[in-house]
Structures are given as C-alpha cells and as structure tokens.
Amino acid sequence: MRNRSSSRKSKKARRKRHSPPGSSPGLIHLEPDALKPIINTFVYAAGECQENQLRTTEEISKQLQAAPDKFHWIDVHGFGDQLFLEQLADSFGIHRLQIEDVVNGYQRPKVEEQKNYLFIVSRVLEEKEARLVNGQLSIFLGPNFVLTFQEMYEDVLEPVRVRLRHGKGLIRTSGSGYLAYALMDTVIDNYFPILERMGEQLDQLEEELIESPSRESLDQVLSIKRELIAVRRAIWSERDKLNEILRSTLDFFTDQSRVYIRDTYDHTIQILDIVDSYKEVTASLMDVYHSSVSNKLNQVMKVLTIISTIFIPLTFIVGVYGMNFARENPVDGSPLLLNMPELYSPYGYIGVLVVMLVIVILQVIFFFKKGWLTRS
C-alpha cells in the first residue's frame, strides 16, 4: 500500500546520493550496495537480430569491431563496478562528468552534444509495490551504437526488446537514432498508466471526502499532489529535451526519426495537460475537504444548540417549581399566599406541562424556519 513512510524513504535515498562538497569533479561516487553490472547487447540489422550477454569492456569492443556496419545496443544494468564503468567510458570516449551523471542518478532530462556521440538523460517513472519510483535512463547515442545505463535490473524497456526481436515496424532498419527514439518514447508512454492510476485514486478520494472527510484521505490528496508536482517537473524537462532535439541539427536523428520524436513531444504535452488538470482536481479536493470539515462542525453545533435551547428554558421552569418557598410563616403559621400559589392550584402541574409543550412547539417551528432541522 502507498503510504507516507515509503515516500519519505525514497526522498532520503535521493538526498544521500551526492559526493561530499569540494571533492574532485567526475569522481564516481558508488553506493556500497550498488548492483553488479549486467550487460545485454543486441546486434541488429535489417534482417537479423542477435542477443548476447557480455561481461567485459573487451568483449563489447570486440563485438562492435566485428560488425561495424550493424547497429549495437549495449544495455547496462547496475553500477556496482567502478573499474568497468571507467573502462567503458574510456573505450567509448565518454567524458567522466557524464559517467558521474549516470551514476549520480538525479539528473533532469537533458541532451548534451559531444563530438562523436549524444548524451541523453530520461527520467523513468515506475510503480513498484504501489509507490512511485523515479529512475534514470542514460543513453549514449553514437552513429552505430546505443549505450544505455540503468541502476536497477528490471526496467520498462521490454516492449522495445520484443520489437527488436520480432523485427516489427521500422525498428531494425532505421538506425541508432530510431532506437534511441523508441527507448525515449517507451519511457514517456509509461507515464500514462501511472496517471491513470492517480486519476482513479483521485476519483475514489473524492467520494471518500464527500462522505466522510478523514485526515487519512487528506494526507493521500496531499501526497498525490506532491507526486503530480514531481511528475510535472520531470515531464516539463522531457518536453524541453525533445524540443531541443527537434530544433537542433544533430546528425544522429534522420528526418524520419524527427517526425516520430515530434509525436513523442506531443505526448509530453498531453501528459502536462493531464497533470495540470489533476492538480486542479487536488485543489478542488482540498476545498471539498475543508468544506466537509466545517460542515461537520456546523452539524455538531446545530445539534448542541437545538438540544440546549429546547431544554435549558424547560429546566429553568421546572427549577422554579422546585423552589421551597414556604406557604405559611414558620413562626406564627400565618399563610404566605403570594408564595408560589401555582403549586396549590388543582391544574398547576398540567398547566406547567402545557406551557412547556407550547415552548417546545414554538422552538421547533423557529428551528424549522431557520432550516436547521433539514440536513444540509
């Protein structure tokens, strides 16, 4: 179940990832519990696609040199081997600062052009055990290779692998730029089911808040609001990144790929639209909550007021006739006729009951006219 403590844990994780202030730039700061790297490669061309699991930088280089006219996707999961990462960076001529960005894992989506490759960062939103995991997909895109890094083993890119294996669509024939597009597009498409889940949660919370406004529901609304803000920030940068790619004159993307990237760009705008409308919904829900709470207070106060204003005067009246004014002077026994003669009237009791009944009826009419007896 989604809860506050888990979201807090993820925040802590994020905060702890930085190298100590003042340390040399480009220093790879590994976490002690980082996973061992696993390297999967796809070597593909128009009619073929070969899948391997490699272990060392040498194997990768050999494979790349063996088939320079095919396309290579080197897919690295896990950062737990500093030496390997450094060798890999050197082998592909990658700047140390960018490897630091890969390992650091909290970069905004961006694209950086280098002489012989592009460095692209995408933010991957996933739901694991009902909480939002904000991962990073780092892509190095060269003329005939795509090198990707992710921190965890499982990822959201399986559909792309399936398309590569089955040779569906343009994916095998349209170069490394198209593969990079397919990866970014899959990452963006993955935002939709998450927003769908949030939408359903918001619908459910709306019902809960109207029927019984509880603090738990409020906490959930606030938590979704924060998630939405995080999603908005990520997708806003994704949009800027894609726009930068579209406006730039980078060789790595063909005109054909650009048409598809423009489509992904449109998706980011759709996601922004949805996120913004959900933020409006959370604002409405806050209004609904506050109005429900003050409504409940009004209800409580109305009950108190009705009961009190009916019975307090009645209690006063019966109190009057509970007074012990003497009927006769204790000294000389002379009658004190002015002292509560009602008590000695044959219809005194009945009279008092009737008076009280009349008061109750008048008050009920008053409350009814005020509209206090109807539920609002």
Interacting positions 290-309 with a copy of itself (CB under 8 A): 290-305, 307-309
Token pair, residue 175, equals 């170069």
Task: Please tell me whether residue 329 binds a copy of itself under the rule CB under 8 A.
Answer: yes
Task: Please tell me whether residue 316 binds a copy of itself under the rule CB under 8 A.
Answer: yes
Task: Give the per-residue contact string, 132-151, with a copy of itself (x = CB under 8 A; - = no).
Answer: --------------------
Task: Please tell me whether residue 154 binds a copy of itself under the rule CB under 8 A.
Answer: no
CA 76 to chain CA centroid, Å, is 28
- Number of residues binding to a copy of itself, judged by CB under 8 A: 132
Task: Please tell me whether residue 37 binds a copy of itself under the rule CB under 8 A.
Answer: no
Residue with smaller CB distance to a copy of itself, 69 or 325: 325
Q: Minimum distance from CB of 143 to a copy of itself (Å)?
A: 22
Candidate segments 30-38, 44-52, 244-252, 346-354, binder of a copy of itself by CB under 8 A: 346-354
Task: Please tell me whether residue 249 binds a copy of itself under the rule CB under 8 A.
Answer: no
* b (16+ CB within 10 A) / e for 335-361: eeeeebeeeeeeeeeeebeeebeeeee
Task: Give the per-residue contact string, 186-205, with a copy of itself (x = CB under 8 A; - = no).
Answer: x--xx-xx-xx--x---x--
Candidate segments 33-41, 50-58, 100-108, 239-247, binder of a copy of itself by CB under 8 A: 100-108
Task: Give the helix/strand (H/E) hosting 60.
Answer: helix 57-66
Interacting positions 347-376 with a copy of itself (CB under 8 A): 347-350, 352, 370-372, 376
CA distance 165 to 162: 5
Residue with smaller CB distance to a copy of itself, 64 or 224: 224
Interacting positions 203-222 with a copy of itself (CB under 8 A): 203, 206, 210, 212-215, 218-219, 222
Task: Please tell me whether residue 165 binds a copy of itself under the rule CB under 8 A.
Answer: no
CA 142 to chain CA centroid, Å, is 35
Closest CA to 227 of 7, 14, 1: 7
The most distant pair of C-alpha atoms in the chain lies apart, rounded to whole Å, by: 134
Report whether 333 contacts 287 (CB < 8 A): no
Task: Please tell me whether residue 113 binds a copy of itself under the rule CB under 8 A.
Answer: no
Task: Please tell me whether residue 325 binds a copy of itself under the rule CB under 8 A.
Answer: yes
Q: For the CA atoms of the chain, what is the radius of gyration? A: 37
Report whether 51 contacts 40 (CB < 8 A): yes
List beta partners, residue 118: 113, 141
Report whether 272 contacts 280 (CB < 8 A): no
Task: Please tell me whether residue 35 binds a copy of itself under the rule CB under 8 A.
Answer: no
Task: Please tell me whether residue 106 binds a copy of itself under the rule CB under 8 A.
Answer: yes
Residues contacting residue 267 through CB under 8 Å, at least 6 positions apart: 185, 188, 189
Task: Please tell me whether residue 346 binds a copy of itself under the rule CB under 8 A.
Answer: yes
CA distance 170 to 178: 8
In the set 49, 180, 260, 275, which binds a copy of itself (CB under 8 A)?
260
